[in-house]
Structure 1
């Protein structure tokens, strides 16, 4: 089975908070009869079931939006290649995801299989979707499959969840592109047009030489997006991109 070429550097995995990540990285060899499950999302088997669908959806949407348009048969063929056991195994190994996996010593060989890689990644993506929805997964897949193809970042219009913004001239509309480096200024402009402001609670995780930042975007007391990155500004931009989509401001172009 042909595997997709990995970009260099690898895009960051979508952020996942530590609480649910503990379940994602707990191998089935640690499960026992009567083990309590989370009342909200259950266990990593349920998350994997969700993640399988989410992975297929994210890859399909990414391929669907590429220009020039791909035929339906080509989309199916390339999606099957991208989501094959062999390719997912390559992704999991590249991200060293199994280095964080907790398992019983007797299960060591089992954790090395392609099936184990698939279960781990789909559990992870199921958890990300449960927490934050599809946008962060779609953004990651776009960069992972073809980081040089800007057309993959186009998405179907998002449903409007708030009153429309004030009318703008064509030149103003053209300048509002959340893929630009000034996403924060653009996002804040949209908020101001709708009489809103955002708060950005942030936290850092890890040792001083390898900090990982996590930032939330909160509008009107409601969380609209989260982002992670190697520095606070990067994490804030990612949170702004997710919030931009979730608030119905448009698609990331």
Structure 2
């Protein structure tokens, strides 16, 4: 069994991004800019945003966080997004999800300029991913594909089971695998007999948010598992969706939690923002 080390790869990607930022600044004077909208006081969201800000600082990005109260109006968020769409110093806009119940999340995501949609949630970018065209891809599944590439794991022709069908992870993960010529099956909360589907899988990608969802008797010998779940156990420890201690014994490769997919998500955000900056620089020439 070999661990897929996202922490090491993300550090490598971060160093490459920092180097490119330096070159870009020297040649054009441009500095990539990332703006984040954070609504309310959710501790997990605040922690994620803080991690993203620190990563921006490390690679030399300009970053700004628009912190808004829980009871913010739809109009106020929309006005902030319009302002960021028109700001030439902002290359990437990130809306930290989830948003409060009074906010129409779909409308907010659709308002972001697709060329600044570094999270890949705008329908324009979702459509481009689904049809195999270049665009912005959600950071977590994109990070998974980079991690597989780093370890020379080819998904072509493999039976891949994606557990979880969210717009943020499951659906784009399935689309990326399909674009890479894998045979893809998506399982979700209404799937009957999950074990029947996972037992035949060459590779399992799980992001359901359920501790120990994938157990030892649900996987075959030599399986490759990417655990995208992140949960806090009763003892306070961070764990994934896979019963790691038992399942890992049967795996050829597996991601640890923490230290697997998590760090890759942030490095892909940096990578997407740099991509947006370069595109905007070409438009300005």
TM-score, normalised by the number of residues in structure 1:
0.29
Q: Which has the higher strand share?
A: 2
**Greater percentage in helix:** 1
Normalising to structure 2: TM-score of the pair? 0.27
